Amino acid sequence: MVKNRSTKSIVKNIWNVVFFAALLLLIFSAGAKAWMLRQFLSIGLFKGEIKKADGKGIATVGAFTYQDANGSTFSSSQLQGKVVLINFWATWCPPCRAEMPSLERLYQQMKDDNRIVFLFVNEDDDFNKAKAFVSDNHYSFPIAMPASNIPTEMFNGTLPTTVVLDKEGKVVMKHEGIGGYDNTKFIEQLKSLL
């Protein structure tokens, strides 16, 4: 009887240690947080959606410049006439890391359509970290870094933020926070803008 209580106590203590170790891992590890959030994405908890209030986007936003991974500088004004999906992200951001697989799948499905442009704007202080992160995770989407101020109608500092611009350069979607973008509904909405 005493031995049985002792065994139960040991098992209980082991489970307590496991629980607190997992909790600490989730608190301090960006990778663990990203994994947990990715599980929520996989069950459809966070879905990207283009919500058209009255059929009109926000007024056309001002241009900004960005630098691609090769060091070339471009202006967002060069993208008019195309639908543009812009994702603002950072390597240290767990929700950003969690939504990356869905964005990669979306990019893979639509990358050959020259009517749409994908722009993944990294907000890390060190662009080399972003390049290494993309390479280490075998992502193929194009990354860039801002080379000027981004209009606040597009990005106010919240990571991740995903923006969709229509062909006229109007914001038709601005989603702050994690989202799953490879679902059928979002892809159909995106294609309807083409």
Residue 88 pLDDT greater than 70, yes or no: yes
Task: Note the pLDDT tens digit of each residue in 126-179.
Answer: 999 999 999 999 999 999 999 999 998 889 999 999 999 999 988 999 999 999
- Least Cα distance to 69 among 170, 159, 166, 139 occurs for 139
Instruction: Classify residue 85: in a domain, yes or no.
Output: yes
Please give, one letter per residue, the 3-state secondary structure of the chain: CHHHHHHHHHHHHHHHHHHHHHHHHHHHCHHHHHHHHHHHHHCCCCECCCCCCCCCCECCCCCCEEEECCCCEEEHHHHCCCEEEEEEECCCCHHHHHHHHHHHHHHHHHCCCCCEEEEEEECCCCHHHHHHHHHHCCCCCCEEEECCCCCCCCCCCCCCEEEEECCCCCEEEEEECCCECCCHHHHHHHHHHC
Cα R_g (the chain), whole angstroms: 21
167: CATH: 3.40.30.10
Contact 61/151 with Cβ under 8 angstroms?
Answer: yes
Residues 84 and 171 reside in one and the same domain = yes
Q: Structural domain of residue 123, as residue ranges? A: 65-193
The most confident of the ranges 16-25, 53-62, 121-130 is 121-130
Residue 49 pLDDT greater than 80, yes or no: no
Residues 31 and 120 reside in one and the same domain = no
Residues 85 and 36 reside in one and the same domain = no
Instruction: Classify residue 89: in a domain, yes or no.
Output: yes
Number of domains the chain contains: 2
Q: From CA 44, how far away is CA 41, in angstroms rounded?
A: 5
Task: Note the pLDDT tens digit of each residue in 93-119.
Answer: 999 999 999 999 999 999 999 999 999
Q: From CA 24, how far away is CA 28, in angstroms rounded?
A: 6
The predicted pLDDT at position 3 comes to: 61
The predicted pLDDT at position 42 comes to: 67
Residues 36 and 71 reside in one and the same domain = no
The predicted pLDDT at position 56 comes to: 54
pLDDT confidence band for 55 (50 / 70 / 90):
very low
Residues 88 and 15 reside in one and the same domain = no
**Could you report how far apart the first and last alpha carbons of the chain are, in Å?**
73
The predicted pLDDT at position 12 comes to: 72
**pLDDT, mean over the chain:** 85
Instruction: Classify residue 58: in a domain, yes or no.
Output: no
Q: From CA 44, how far away is CA 176, in angstroms rounded?
A: 17
pTM over 0.75: yes
Contact 70/127 with Cβ under 8 angstroms?
Answer: no
Quickly tell me which residue has 């908890």 as its tokens: 45
